[in-house]
Amino acid sequence: MIKMQEVYMTYPNGVVALNGVDVTIEQGEFVYIVGHSGAGKSTFTKMLFREEVPTKGSVVVNNTDITTLKWKEVPYFRRNIGVVYQDFRLLPKLTVYENIAFALEVIEESPKNIRKRVMSVLDQVGLKNKARFIPDELSGGEQQRVAIARAMVNHPSLLIADEPTGNLDPETSWEIMRILEEINASGTTILMATHSKEIVNTVKKRVIAMEDGMIVRDEHRGEYGYEV
Amino acid sequence: MKFSTLKRHFKEGARNTWRNGWMTIASIGAVTTTLILVGVFLVLMLNLNHIANELEDDVQIKALIEVTAEESDVDQLEENINNINGIESIDFSTKEEELENLIDSMGEQGQAWGLYEQDNPLNDVFIVKAEDPLETERIAAEIEEFDFIYRVNYGQEYVDTLFKFNEYARNVGLVLIAALVFTAIFLISNTIKITILARKKEIGIMKLVGATNNFIRWPFFVEGMFLGVLGSVIPIAVILIGYYFLTQNMAILQQFNFVTILDFYPFALQISLIIVGIGASIGVWGSLMSVRKFLKV
Ligand SMILES: Nc1ncnc2c1ncn2[C@@H]1O[C@H](COP(=O)(O)OP(=O)(O)OP(=O)(O)O)[C@@H](O)[C@H]1O
Ligand SMILES: [Mg+2]
């Protein structure tokens, strides 16, 4: 599903964010990426939906080599990947319902199917009663659930979450984790960059630890392994 | 593209137009100003063109026949003129008819000429029209060579100047209109760009969920169209009302003058369509130009 080989990434300003990354992730896995600030976690995830292109090496996702992907093909490639950020990235003027529906309008889903699927994911993240609210009227945890609902609404094979609980209180974080595990149980690969020692040590999954743009540890059912 | 998607783009475009409030009004203002100027220019140009064409059609050669010419000489002359290349028509007019025309064309004052009816100082004439008005000069020169031609009249300088002025007016008009249109496109694209800066993040989010550039562009296309169409409302009203009054007053003027302007209908309809068309093009172009930069990611 994901195969990175000898991946190097140097930003235009000269910062080396990835320094030879080799990794394989199978379909259906749940993987944490941990490491100090600036270790390259976000850059790692950005490779996977072609937000950034590696300076060297190959990145293959869903049998697509993103280094040779033409820019016209990028939107279509991204439709099979859901992305969730710490800052939610919701469209501020659209309602909860419209934000989620947007991901389906883009793929020209029929209005009938859009309604059905949006209501179904809203139910799944427990926000059916807030469908008509705009993001500013929601709590952080609720906004994050909308972002997850949007990321999962077209059944992507891969869901990338970059610090999805970064802005949330512990209780809300567990709620988000429960939803992510549920999505994972349906077969979606989940890649989650996090600083939460508690989550990583409690909900045991594969852990990839990064340091200075390199993978320094990769264990199944691993520990967080850093002092917070 | 599915119909439901098109509907979505129109809804979204309308919503953005509405939401951008003051920026929308500023853009519409830019279109309105431009279109009023362009519209006035167009009205002037199209009417100049109309007048020129009318005068061009009127350009005719009057070949005055010597009073000494016999009937057989006149027949021979007609045959000779007919043989010249590029003749559209040739008509014979007696000096009595010429005098009558003259009196008619002068209205009240013309009555004075009635005194000449007994002793007509005019000549019989051939009235010759060239197929191409621009050939008039050559044909007139050829006719002048024939026997029994007393003189050839066609208002040389007048015709040449008219043609030159016409061409000149057309070119200047087109250049001015092009300059105005480009200024408006520039203004609009800059105005919309201000609203897009705020939307830059949104465009990034749209791309994140896999929206194609065209999908993102469509609502902007619609918004530009709305701006253009809304911006053409006032110019059309101003020009239609203005032109209506002009035609009303021209009707009085025309009694003294042989120059006419285009009738209110269908000209009013045509100019309205042209103005809406230009407005929509300005809006769409300006809007798409402003979004271009943000799609290159
Ligand atoms: N767009 C960019 N341009 C230039 N340098 C960048 C850019 N994004 C990240 N970097 C640099 O690349 C390095 C890795 O950044 P990255 O965001 O991948 O770290 P991270 O592990 O996600 O950190 P954090 O835990 O703080 O989110 C950092 O030194 C950062 O300054
Ligand atoms: Mg990061």
| Mean pLDDT along residues A193-214 | 95
Q: How many CB atoms lie within 10 A of CB A175?
A: 18
Which structure tokens are listed for A108? 């020209």
Q: Are B284 and B224 in contact (CB under 8 A)?
A: yes
Residue whose CA lies nearest to ligand 1 atom number 17: A42
Which amino acid would we find at residue B56?
E
Per-residue pLDDT band for B289 (boundaries 50, 70, 90) equals confident
Q: Could you say which ligand is closest to the alpha carbon of residue A195?
A: 1
pLDDT top residue among A167 and B197: A167
DSSP bridge pairs for A54: none
Which is more confident, B212 or B99?
Answer: B212
Indicate yes or no: CB of A108 within 8 angstroms of CB of B5.
yes
Most confident of A132-136, B46-50, B170-174, B291-295: A132-136
Q: Pick from A164, A183, A184: which is nearest to A174 by CA?
A: A164
Residues of chain A with C-beta less than 8 angstroms from the C-beta of B215: 75, 106
Task: Indicate the helix (H) or strand (E) that contains A65.
Answer: strand A64-65
Q: How far is B213 from chain A (nearest CA, A)?
A: 8
Would you call B206 and A90 a contact, using CB atoms and an 8 Å cutoff?
no
pLDDT at B102 over 80: no
- The predicted structure's pLDDT at residue B253: 65
CA A136 to chain B, closest CA, distance in angstroms equals 15
Q: Does A107 touch chain B (CB under 8 A)?
A: yes
pLDDT of residue B159: 63
Distance (Å) from the alpha carbon of B280 to chain A's nearest alpha carbon:
26
Between chain A and chain B, the number of residue pairs with CB atoms below 8 A apart is 50
Pocket of ligand 1 contains residue A42 by CB under 6 Å:
yes
Residue carrying structure tokens 């798409």: B288
- pLDDT surpassing 80 at residue B222: yes
Q: What average pLDDT does this structure show over A91-97? A: 93
The C-alpha atoms of residue B11 and residue B192 are separated, in whole angstroms, by: 18
Asked if residue A49 has pLDDT above 90, the reply is: yes
* pLDDT beyond 70 at A126: yes
Written as six digits, the tokens of A209 are: 């630890």
What are A58-86's pLDDT values in tens digits? 999 999 999 999 989 999 999 999 999 98
Residue of B nearest to A51 (CA): B208
* Per-residue tokens: B57: 């059609």
Instruction: Tell whether the model's pLDDT for residue B297 goes beyond 60.
Output: no
Mean pLDDT, to the nearest integer, of B124-150?
Answer: 86
Interface membership of A155 toward B (CB under 8 Å)? no
3-state class percentages of chain A: helix first, strand second, coil last, to nearest 5: 35, 25, 40
pLDDT classification of A32: cutoffs 50, 70, 90: very high
Mean pLDDT (chain A) is 94
Ligand 1 close to Cβ of residue A226 (< 6 A): no
State whether B208 and A83 contact (CB < 8 Å): yes
pLDDT at B257: 59
CB A153 within 8 A of CB A124: no
* C-alpha distance from A61 to closest chain B C-alpha (Å): 15
CB contact under 8 A, B208 and A111: no
Q: What is the CA(B27)–ligand 2 centre distance, in A?
A: 40
A52 within 8 A of A74, measured Cβ to Cβ: no
Residue of A nearest to B296 (CA): A71
At residue B256, the pLDDT reads 56
Element (H, E) at B130: strand B125-130
| Beta-bridge partners for A209 | A34, A217
Report the alpha-carbon distance of residue A17 to residue B172 in Å, rounded.
Answer: 59
State the Cα angle at A40 between A36 and A44, rounded to 5°: 135
Verify whether ligand 1 is closer than 6 Å to residue A43 (CB atom): yes
Q: Summarize pLDDT for B165-195 with one digit per residue, the tens.
A: 778 877 888 898 888 888 888 887 887 778 7
Nearest residue of A to residue B207, measured between CA atoms: A75
CA atoms within 13 A on the CB side of A129: 1
The predicted model scores a pTM of: 0.76
* Statement: residue A90 has pLDDT above 80: yes
Whole-angstrom Cα distance, residue A139 to residue B54? 74
Burial class (CB in 10 A: 0-12, 13-18, 19+), B261: buried
**Cβ distance of B205 and A150 shorter than 8 Å:** no
Nearest CA in chain A to B216: A106
**The predicted structure's pLDDT at residue B171:** 86
A200 pLDDT more than 90: yes
Q: Is A209 in the pocket of ligand 1 (CB under 6 A)?
A: no
> Where is average pLDDT lowest: A44-58, A87-101, B170-184, B233-247?
B170-184
Protein residue with its CA nearest to atom 1 in ligand 1: A11
DSSP calls for A195-224: --HHHHHHS--EEEEEETTEEEEEETT---
Of the pLDDT bands very low, low, confident and very high (cuts 50, 70, 90), residue B107 is: low
Residue B266 has pLDDT above 60, yes or no: yes
pLDDT band at B156 (very low <50, low <70, confident <90, very high): low
Mutate to test the pocket of ligand 1, among A43, A165, A197, A200 (most ligand atoms within 8 A of CB): A43
Angstrom distance (rounded) from CA B207 to CA B215: 10
- What average pLDDT does the segment B46-68 reach? 80
- Of A118-122, A177-181, B202-206, least confident by mean pLDDT is B202-206
Terminal alpha carbon distance of chain A? 31
Q: Which comes out higher in pLDDT, residue B292 or A39? A: A39
Q: Is the link from the previous residue into B266 a cis peptide, with omega within 30 of 0?
A: yes
How far apart CA B84 and CA B145 sit, in angstroms, is 12
A107 and B19 within 8 Å at the Cβ level: the answer is: no
Whether A34 is in the pocket of ligand 1, judged by its Cβ within 6 Å, is no
pLDDT in tens, A146-172: 999 999 999 999 999 999 998 888 999
Q: Helices in B209-232 by DSSP H: which ranges?
A: 213-231
